[in-house]
Structure 1
Amino acid sequence: ALEEVYAAVFGTEAALVRPQIVSGTHAVALCLYGVLRPGDELVTVQGKPYDTLEKVIYGAPGALSEWGVHYTQIEPLPDGSVDEKRVAQIARRQPRAVLLQRSGGYSWRRGLRLEQIAALTGLIKELSPTTVVIVDNCYGEFVEEAEPPAVGADLCAGSLIKNPGGGIAPTGGYVAGREELVELAASRLTAPGLGRAVGPTLDCQRLLFQGLFLAPHFVAEALKGAVFAARFFARLGFEVLPRFDEPRSDIVQGIRLGSPEKLLAFCRAVQATSPVDAHLYPEGGVLPGYSDAVVMAAGTFIQGASLEFTADAPMRQPYAVYLQGGLSKEHVIMGVIAAAKAVIQT
């Protein structure tokens, strides 16, 4: 029943919603390994993919590159937009799949709004109707009035401890899209021939239903907090992305702080205003799937949940912090003000 509800909400033929999917990267990887075969070509159109997805494609044992999947990365134009002429050139050679990212990730770039996903999908399908368009939907669910499959994407995937879990899903992820493609992803989660037909629901099914019900409201709270953070830090003289008055594709707010000291001060202030583990002192550290040390402020009730108020960043230039979530805008405002004070005093 939960998967039928997800399919209805996302406007798709089918959905896979399981607590055994451990992250958004895992959900997207199920799509990629389900769809791609040796000799196929995978294309990304926004430059370097998110750190953990990069390891799925190449650079880690068992990556797609080891299975003979060819990878093409299209760099953005100088203004950060997608190079549609290059996309058209690559589409003419009939790649098996194109991966789009709704959020900018740890790159200082804008994510893709639905109208841009629609335009890119239309361009790709016109030149290569059989190419599968997969959208990493993490942080983008319920930010706009529809989801990527409504504008032509074949598959989208994400994490339940981000937007669609409504702040109460304890674990899980989802894949939604065309039925035969969702089944291919499910076969990677379980086994070929079993697919969606098996798998325990554990003791969290009610939370997954309730979280989905609450999700649009809490996403709205997070967006209000992000708009406040953008305006507040811009007034303090910091570069922000997006600006407070720009359309948004996700709940993430980038703030370029310019130094590792300011970055750490920001994250420590966010941690100190968190409802859980406020006494902890975040430091940069090595995490699986990341090339650089990463600092994370996440005093959350659900471990790793980023629909709750969190901030994180790779410890590298331009020392930009990425703020997301907030189950109440009041909490975000309190945390942002504390973070601003800490940064100014650093």
Structure 2
Amino acid sequence: MQDGNKQRFDEAWEQWADAAEEQVAGRFRQLDRIVERNQWKVIRAFQNHKVSDYHFAGSTGYGYNDRGREVLDLVYADVFGAESAIVRPHLVSGTHTISAALFGILRPGDELVFVTGKPYDTLHKVIGKPGDGTGSLADWGIRSTFVPLLSDGGVDWEGVAAATTERTKVFAIQRSRGYDWRPSFSVGQIGDMVSRLKDLRPQASVFVDNCYGEFTEEREPTEVGVDLIAGSLIKNPGGGLASSGGYIAGRADLVELAAFRLTAPGIGGEVGAMLGTTRAIYQGLFLAPLLVGQAVKGSIFAAAVFGNLGFETHPKWDDPRTDLIQAIRFGKPDPLIHFVQAIQQAAAVDSHVVPEPWDMPGYEHPVIMAAGTFIQGGSLELSADAPIREPYIAYMQGGLTYAHVKLAVQRVLSVFSERGYLKDLAQ
């Protein structure tokens, strides 16, 4: 960028950033209150279970009598308002954690109904197709039905009723938007869904994929009647410190079944060496409310800046938020790709790497991902990804500090200015 053009961009950026921060100041204050209440909730859980330094010691082999691991499960259950929880570094991703939960509570001949449409792309292979030979749910004779959402993003209750049979064992809800241009579901909305689903089939359990949603509100789905939730530690609850892992929380009998799937029947959560990860998982949980708040502030700011420049954003800056994800629609592949590449350029780690679309395992379209993170795949850290398909929407999430997200937005707009994408917008 020539010196004159750079000076003009810098001046414009200061104006855009100042206007956006003034615009969102009220939302930031509301978010600070949520952060405080969640921080207090986590501290109370630590205090209730008398967490002490000796709980951070590692274990090896079978991990019998690992008191730190046992208390960690109790703390998570307390934080999430659940009867029981299992928290393990051995759960390698959110998809693995959700898979363990679903395989744990479903049996051949059961039916699984997704009431919020098709789930996130990586779960499609877990669901599978009959006879696919991969050990998927379908391969084990478990039938899955997806009830598409209505055009306004609401649940199609007539469709859910039509899909429900005497074999329906589990209703599944995806809290976050995934790769859809729709609102994520708030905890209040999920509570309303639970009431209707229990009226429809009281015997069925309600499961929620809680990824990206933890600590964005003052309540969690298990506090409004959900039977079982699952999430990843390299997202919100790991606080940027957990190097791997996942958690499952909810009704004690269902958590036990999921634990049997994670290890083996009769063993469940009684074993599992933590291998030096315990301290980071505890401390990450302690930090999670604050860092989730930083990430959400970054998303609100980005929505305001890009919205003010004429881009479509979802959610808008003043919309309610129940997850980390900020979607921005570009309509063309080039600005989408350059957006993701600019997010990578703003990273502290691997800023020199240039992401390109590729056929990533578990996804149905080529995907481009920016992830200059300390924890590989850690999406509480600033990251962005997108499937290369119409209408070319980028999904930005995370940011351990608000300042980092602000820097990344500045970098995106600098790249867009150089390429002429802001020519008509910045008049």
Shared fold per TM-score greater than 0.5: yes
Partner of 1:42: 112
Partner of 1:7: 77
Give 2:255's aligned amino acid: V
Query: Structure 1: how far apart are the matches of 2:411 and 2:237?
Result: 28
Partner of 1:54: 124
**1:301-321 CA-partner distances (Å, limit 9, x unpaired):** 111100011111111111100
- 1:77 aligns to 2:150 (yes or no): yes
Partner of 2:318: 245
Matched-pair contact (CA < 8 Å) for 2:297–2:402: yes
Partner of 1:154: 227
TM-score (norm 2): 0.79
Matched-pair contact (CA < 8 Å) for 1:38–1:68: yes
**1:232-289 CA-partner distances (Å, limit 9, x unpaired):** 1111111111111000120100001112211111111111110001000000112111
Instruction: Name the SS for the 1:168 alignment partner.
Output: coil
Give 1:148's aligned amino acid: P
Partner of 2:92: 22
TM-score (norm 1): 0.97
**1:132-188 CA-partner distances (Å, limit 9, x unpaired):** 111000000000111111001000000000000001110000000001100111111
Identity %: 53
- 1:333 aligns to 2:406 (yes or no): yes
Query: Structure 1: how far apart are the matches of 2:151 and 2:213?
Result: 24
Partner of 2:137: 64
Partner of 2:362: 289
Give 2:290's aligned amino acid: H
Larger radius of gyration: 2
**1:70-126 CA-partner distances (Å, limit 9, x unpaired):** 111111111121112322344464610011011010122221111110011110112
Matched-pair contact (CA < 8 Å) for 2:113–2:164: no
**1:26-73 CA-partner distances (Å, limit 9, x unpaired):** 111111101111111100112221101111112562211111111111
- 1:256 aligns to 2:341 (yes or no): no
Matched-pair contact (CA < 8 Å) for 2:109–2:167: no
Give 2:97's aligned amino acid: A
Aligned pairs for 1:136-215 within 5 A: 136-215=209-288
Matched-pair contact (CA < 8 Å) for 2:92–2:244: yes
Partner of 2:203: 130
Matched-pair contact (CA < 8 Å) for 1:94–1:130: no
Picking from 92, 101, 124, the partner of 1:31 is 101
**What is the aligned length?**
346
Query: Structure 2: how far apart are the matches of 1:220 and 1:37?
Result: 39
Partner of 1:312: 385
Instruction: Name the SS for the 2:313 alignment partner.
Output: strand
Unaligned runs of 5+ in 1: none
Matched-pair contact (CA < 8 Å) for 2:114–2:172: yes
Instruction: Name the SS for the 2:295 alignment partner.
Output: helix
Change (3 A) 1:235 1:178: same
Query: Structure 2: how far apart are the matches of 1:42 and 1:274?
Result: 40
Query: Structure 2: how far apart are the matches of 1:135 and 1:344?
Result: 41
- 1:105 aligns to 2:175 (yes or no): no
Matched-pair contact (CA < 8 Å) for 2:116–2:172: no
Give 1:132's aligned amino acid: S
Instruction: Name the SS for the 2:211 alignment partner.
Output: coil
Out of 84-93 and 268-277, give the one that drifted further: 84-93
